[in-house]
Amino acid sequence: MIKHRLGALIAVLLQVICLTWSQPFPNYHADFVSIGDRDSDLKWWQTGAFYQIYPRSFKDSNGDGVGDLNGIAEQLPYLKEIGITATWLSPIFTSPMADFGYDIANFTEVAPIFGTMADFDHLMEVAKKLDIKIILDFVPNHSSDECEWFRRSAAGDPEFKDFYVWHPGRMENGNRHPPSNWISVFRGSAWQWHDGRQEYYLHQFVKKQPDLNYRNPKVRETMSNVLRFWLAKGVSGFRIDAVPHVFEIAPDAQNQYRDEPRNDWDNDPEDYGYLQHIYTVDQPETIDLVYSWRAVLDSFQREHGGEERILMAETYSPIDIVMQYYGNATAEGAQLPFNFLLISELSNSSNAHAYEGTALKWLQHMPQGRTANWVLGNHDKPRVGSRLGRDRVDMLNMLTATLPGASVTYQGEELGMTDVWISWKDTVDPSACNTNPSIYEQYSRDPERTPFQWTDAQDAGFSNASKTWLPIALDYKLVNVELERQKPLSHLNVFKQLWQLRKQSNTLQRGETEVKALSDAVLAVKRGLEHDSTFLTLLNIYDGVETINLRQSFPDLPPELKVVVVTERSQVKVGDLINSTSLQLQPKDSLILQSTSSYYSYATNGESRLLPVLGVYLWLAQVALYLSSR
């Protein structure tokens, strides 16, 4: 009897010791039971994994060498497999394809090359079953010159006369000249003479893309109706193309447009960089226009219910202007103005301090209560594997998956696809075709637009056509979905692990963020949440072996951390415990570490309480000893 009671007393003392030992790191634990609905205030898009599909290059279902809607529907389960929340489709609308869909002839029709409206409806049905949301490209700056609106405007139809930006030009010494010196993004004058109307029209992109006139209220209402049409078809939002170009400065009292000043660093008068675009981009009216489109989406939701519909705004503007797209004290704007800093500010030679500064630049400028987003690539920029190195693909996907907010992945980046060299003969991008064989490569966007690589079969499983619209990458037998599924630490499988972890972790969805360069080579992202695990993402950006003491930079870390995600460059394995004062990272290595748990979490009286795991077992032992002594 005495022996049993002595054992019970020892158990109680051990429990007290356990409670004492467990106190130094109260925030480093995991919940084993749910405490309320912690995600109740998170909207679907705030931690979403967005995926851009370039329809021409994703999957060809009918053998014509061009991807289509049925091909997308067929492969949507793949997006579910890799953890995607929503997919943004580049334009699928009726178009003569002068700029591969960004020259729209009918904003509410599906281009025959991509399928039919019935095919789109089928895609929406498949997406709904898979719980994948569809985001459409909204191209507001211009239409095609084959659009009925433009034809009627050029003919002087009173209803459409001022739908586009027209001007008779300047007369100098009896000769007619363009209204201003403005230059097109795709080289040369931004003004094109129209013989029928006997006036110039503005085109900030190719001449077959005349700019709409948003100073005309009819244009604004017509484009708002385009949004309403597709919302009624069930889409979850829109990516707004080329937002900064939508407005240009109004003509002066004499109906003249001002010339833009030139840049002294560009000596090519045909090149877009020759001028400072102070009158043709980032006009103040543009921000208010985006707010009006957000109001259209919010009004639709109030009327029809359902989850929030979103706007994603494409803008490479200065950071202070980009932040205005979020909204202000009186109006809501785009939920996700695209964050292109990882594209525009990082290069192959950037060190960890540059990575830190780039991440913090967005987070520190972002208005309170807004959601961050991280974009690594798109159809207009070189692929991340070519831009920053194929050996950095995993670490960059790891970075965007563990930074706060949403991320946007361009198709193929999860595989490590890289740019494909395209000859002048095979070049189809108008940005390059408007140049010449000696300089086209610096303007071409074809290299990042080549067909997706599904298998090692003909045409990489993208098509069974004798010729695809762009050549297939030569490395498709080594870089494809089918092969990478079989390799545990392939780029694809690391990507899948990242998003599985992200969806399971309250900390990665809701936690506080600390981004810190530990040296020139090593970047750390620490995510912490009270009453939950702490996560630490580590990237060794360079080619040397790096040994680091994590507690020098993060003194509140526990002595040991558990490895939860590795890459093929790592020497440690998932599940390993590492000493937080001495960790070795291999060249171009990246890891995610997690604090180990010392607590069970339980709820009582509406409050979260903690109980040490060892204490639970000792308490049970105490009960058992007491009962056995009776």
The residues, ordered by sequence, that sit 6+ positions from 368 with a Cβ below 8 Å of its Cβ are none
3-state secondary structure string across 339-390: CCHHHHCCCCCCCHHHHHHHHHHHHHHCCCCCCCEEECCCCCCCCHHHHHHH
Nearest to 476 by CA among 462, 494, 455, 495: 455
**Is 241 part of the annotated catalytic residue set?**
yes
How far, in Å, CA of 490 to CA of 475, rounded? 15
The residues, ordered by sequence, that sit 6+ positions from 518 with a Cβ below 8 Å of its Cβ are 352, 524, 548, 550, 553
At residue 590, the 3 state secondary structure works out as strand
Structure tokens at 602: 């339980």
Instruction: Output the CA torsion sign for 359, 365, 368, 369.
Output: negative
Exactly one of 99, 137, 145, 241 is catalytic; name it.
Answer: 241
| DSSP, residue by residue, 2-70 | HHHHHHHHHHHHHHHHHHHHTTT-TTB---SS--S-TTTT--TTTT-EEEEE-GGGT--SSSSSS--HH
DSSP state of 202: E
| 178 close to 169: Cβ distance less than 8 angstroms | yes
Q: Torsion angle, CA of 423/428/430/435, rounded to 10 degrees?
A: 20
Write the CA distances from 610 to 388, 458, 532, integer angstroms.
Answer: 44, 58, 11
CA R_g for the chain:
28
| 402 close to 396: Cβ distance less than 8 angstroms | no
**Is 314 part of the annotated catalytic residue set?**
yes
Residue 612: enclosing H or E segment and its boundaries? strand 607-612
Cα 560–Cα 592–Cα 402 angle in degrees, nearest 5? 130
How far, in Å, CA of 239 to CA of 378, rounded? 12
| 137 close to 89: Cβ distance less than 8 angstroms | yes
- For the chain, the distance separating the N- and C-terminal CA atoms, rounded to the nearest angstrom, is 8
How far, in Å, CA of 567 to CA of 454, rounded? 22
| DSSP, residue by residue, 504-561 | H-HHHHH-EEEEEESSSSEEEEEEE-TTB--EEEEEE-SSS-EEE-HHHH-TTS-SEE
How far, in Å, CA of 414 to CA of 21, rounded? 43
DSSP state of 139: -
* Burial (Cβ within 10 Å: 0-12, 13-18, ≥19) of residue 131: exposed
Secondary structure E strands in 71-189: 86-89, 93-94, 106-110, 133-138, 166-167, 170-172, 175-177
* Burial (Cβ within 10 Å: 0-12, 13-18, ≥19) of residue 221: exposed
Write the CA distances from 36 to 405, 511, 558, 601, 606, integer angstroms.
Answer: 22, 17, 27, 12, 9
How far, in Å, CA of 135 to CA of 309, rounded? 9
Exactly one of 99, 137, 314, 419 is catalytic; name it.
Answer: 314
Task: Give me the amino acid identity at 14.
Answer: L
How far, in Å, CA of 470 to CA of 417, rounded? 15
Residues involved in catalysis = 241, 314
